[in-house]
Chains A and B, each alone.
Chain A
């Protein structure tokens, strides 16, 4: 799952990286820095895995006041 600072939320880390990239000569309009959490989940199917991770996001992995999240599910194993 991906956690991002919500739109409109100041992201000083992203701003610092953006300034550095500009200094290196890259044409960057904006940089925003979030977080990736890779999770291995035992689940019946992708839908139930997604629902489980959704609950994890709500309870712990993201703070809804400042962060948005996106869940990407990939089937693994058997």
Chain B
């Protein structure tokens, strides 16, 4: 029996700008990715959802603060509540934090400068649907491009996250002033992840690194498993 192609929805907000890169990356990884417009109140039949990078709704007020109230986000929250796989990249991470789906908040970089370059991140956990193709401790090279990627949580929340093992990626070098170099976290249940680096920009060695493909391919694997169990 041939394995089915998982179907992954990429939510397109006004101001999203990495949505098509994500589509391209998933096509390269043998998944079917479809755009979902932010005004949709229901999601089509999907095995996973990605919230792409960009500047949704102009990132007015705080990054992601307005996007979290879009109709599609209610549907995404329901999808996540039902155990669906959701990955937020950069602005998508900011939206999930503002929505309270993921812990913490992304603040202006400590340097106040936009940072746009390849960075090294360490995989803290390889037992998530987003990192299963990595080994714990593995270093990945993935680009970042953000002005507001300084992840923050208060002491109490951070202790909780450590106890629940929710930190998945940490920067292996100074990038934006993130608390304890946190670059990516999952929710308690482990079905929603957010990260500031852009795996979709690192799926082909021609672009400098293919390490991002490990993250997206992990998600494709997990989404394919879901597709199989729901067939």
The chain A residues found within 8 Å of chain B, CB to CB, are 9-10, 12-13, 16, 60-61, 63, 65-66
Contact = CB atoms under 8 A, between A and B. Distances in A.
- The majority secondary structure among interface residues of chain B is loop
Contacts of A10: 107, 110, 177
Interface in B101-156: 104-105, 107-112, 152-154
B231 interface: no
A66 B152 contact: yes
B65 interface: yes
Contacts of A63: 62, 65, 98, 105
A63 B61 CA distance: 10
Contacts, number: 30
B69 to A, nearest CB: 8
Contact of B104 (A9, A12, A16, A65): A65
Find the residue from B98, B107, B152 having the highest chain A CB count within 10 A: B107
Name the interface size band of chain B. Answer: 10 to 19
A47 B54 CA distance: 40
A3 B98 CA distance: 16
A1 B37 CA distance: 33
B65 A60 contact: yes
Contacts of B111: 12
Nearest to B111: A12
By Cβ-Cβ distance, the 5 closest A-B pairs, closest first, are A65-B105, A12-B112, A12-B110, A66-B105, A63-B105
Given A12-B108, A65-B157, 17 more contacts: A10-B107, A10-B177, A12-B109, A12-B110, A12-B111, A12-B112, A12-B177, A13-B108, A13-B112, A16-B112, A61-B61, A63-B98, A63-B105, A65-B152, A65-B153, A66-B107, A66-B152
